[in-house]
Amino acid sequence: MNSDSGTGGAGGTGGTGGAAPDGGSGGFRVGLIGYGLAGSVFHAPLIAATDGLVLDTVVTGNPDRQRQAAAEHPGVRVVASSDALFERAAELDLVVIASPNKTHVPLARAALEAGLPVVVDKPLAATAAEAEALAGLAEERGLLLSAFQNRRWDNDFRTVQQLLADGALGTVLRFESRFERWRPQPKGGWRESGDPAEIGGLLYDLGSHVVDQALALFGPATAVYAEADVRRPGAEADDDTFIAVTHANGVRSHLWVSATTAQLGPRFRVLGSAAGYVKYGLDPQEAALREGLRPGAGSSGWGVEPESLWGRLGAGESPQTGGGDPVPTLPGDYPAYYAAIETSLRTGAEPPVTAREAAAALRVLEAARLSADEGRTVRIGEAG
């Protein structure tokens, strides 16, 4: 999720199989590769806010970002290449990869071969086969490998999970999820590149989130139908995409990701046999992190949204006209991801998002790409 790149293999060995040793001076020592959007806004602040984790090293070859990292995290070591990081593998306990998508697999492989547990920003890889290969390598070495799917800790998603656990909707029939934006002018950069090697476009960007959420809620997919369009003048990669997922349990998920939506739809609409839940707006945590706010001490209201944004639960009425009952939105909790990573490092427990789960989501994304290209429904497994 950022424009820093790092290449090169591991320069030595370090780390351990299973749970890593405590870093000694305050916790597990973390090396972060990449300091663009993902590294600077999400990973570095969340790592720094997590008890038991210490942001030790940041890798970025961009001089402006080097200065930014040093200013935002005094005392952190800043290096220009992943080679310099891996030369110190024995001094680290975890590597976090937040560099461009095309570097995720080679850097994750290098970290695992250096004996280091790894967190990789989504998507873990370009294909499910690559993700499975990384998972196999991590299991062979006895090392943690996790994909950063922070939106499992969005406020609205946590609220949907609670409604399902409470049985408030009855049997869920259809799950609708929209991650829409209004960005009529392309920004350029690798995320919007049409080069397949860059793994750009919304299908693998926002699509990684909505597919992961659907699978986390309703389990394995059996079939996928998708429509992917390039709408904006000058755009190279998909910027308006729809994905329909049939789950093994019969639930249908309808998922939209778009940069061309002039009027935004509900973030979630979940329709069940007894009631439906509709929720507008986005979780506030990303905006807070972008503004420089941080979770932790003095942030008792972290992830909390105003009552005016609560979703509504009901049947036979429109929430637009006040139908249904307001449902208090649970607070968003991005810090929970790295807290769980720290627990995994310390105890050897399974990480909060596994590489096998990331591979399952990639199978759906691959099927969606094939479906959009050929205009047909694709059975899971057929795309591979």
Tens of pLDDT along 210-254?
999 999 999 999 999 999 999 999 889 889 999 999 999 999 999
Can you give the pLDDT at residue 194? Answer: 79
Asked whether residue 198 carries a pLDDT value surpassing 80, the answer given is no
Of 40-44, 196-200, 316-320, the least confident: 196-200
112 plus 160 within the same structural domain: no
Can you give the pLDDT at residue 339? Answer: 98
Tokens of 115: 């004996």
Helix (H, G, I), strand (E, B) or coil at 230: coil
347 plus 313 within the same structural domain: no
328 plus 197 within the same structural domain: yes
Whole-prediction pTM: 0.91
Residue 243 belongs to domain with CATH number: 3.30.360.10
Nearest C-alpha neighbor of 208 from the set 126, 326, 136: 126
Asked whether residue 5 carries a pLDDT value surpassing 50, the answer given is no
175 plus 235 within the same structural domain: yes
Residue 6 within any structural domain of the chain: no
Tens of pLDDT along 101-141?
999 999 999 999 999 999 999 999 999 999 999 999 999 99
95 plus 205 within the same structural domain: no
Can you give the pLDDT at residue 217? Answer: 98
126 plus 234 within the same structural domain: no
Q: Which helix (H) or strand (E) element contains residue 156?
A: helix 155-166
Can you give the pLDDT at residue 10? Answer: 34
Residue 47 within any structural domain of the chain: yes
Of 17-21, 35-39, 269-273, the least confident: 17-21
Nearest C-alpha neighbor of 41 from the set 288, 302, 290, 285: 290
Can you give the pLDDT at residue 16? Answer: 33
236 plus 268 within the same structural domain: yes
Tokens of 176: 């609708």
Residue 289 within any structural domain of the chain: no
Strand 172-180 versus strand 94-97 pairing type = unpaired
DSSP 159: H
Residue 263 within any structural domain of the chain: yes
182 plus 72 within the same structural domain: no
Q: What DSSP string runs through 160-187?
A: HHHHHHHTTTSSEEEEEEEEE-B--S--
Asked whether residue 7 carries a pLDDT value surpassing 70, the answer given is no
Domain total for the chain?
Answer: 2
288-291 long-range contacts, CB within 8 A, separation 24+: 289/41, 289/42, 289/45, 289/334, 290/41
d(CA 197, CA 373): 17
97 plus 140 within the same structural domain: yes
Residue 1 within any structural domain of the chain: no
328 plus 267 within the same structural domain: yes
Tens of pLDDT along 173-183?
999 999 999 99
Can you give the pLDDT at residue 298? Answer: 57
Q: What phi-psi label fits residue 29: left (phi over 0), alpha (psi between -120 and 50 degrees) or beta?
A: beta
Helix (H, G, I), strand (E, B) or coil at 223: strand
Residue 77 belongs to domain with CATH number: 3.40.50.720
Residue 5 within any structural domain of the chain: no
The strand pairing partners of 30, in sequence order, are 55, 94
- Please answer whether residues 368 and 202 qualify as being in contact, where contact means their C-beta atoms are separated by less than 8 angstroms: no
d(CA 261, CA 143): 42
The upper half-sphere exposure of residue 219, i.e. CA atoms within 13 Å in the direction of its Cβ, equals 7
Asked whether residue 378 carries a pLDDT value surpassing 70, the answer given is yes
321 plus 203 within the same structural domain: yes
Tens of pLDDT along 326-369?
999 999 999 999 999 999 999 999 999 999 999 999 999 999 99
d(CA 347, CA 8): 30
Can you give the pLDDT at residue 150? Answer: 98
3-state helix, strand, coil in the chain (%, to 5): 35, 20, 40
The upper half-sphere exposure of residue 179, i.e. CA atoms within 13 Å in the direction of its Cβ, equals 23
Residue 222 within any structural domain of the chain: yes
Which residues constitute the domain of residue 83? 27-148+338-352
Can you give the pLDDT at residue 319? Answer: 87
Can you give the pLDDT at residue 26? Answer: 76
209 plus 188 within the same structural domain: yes
Residue 259 within any structural domain of the chain: yes
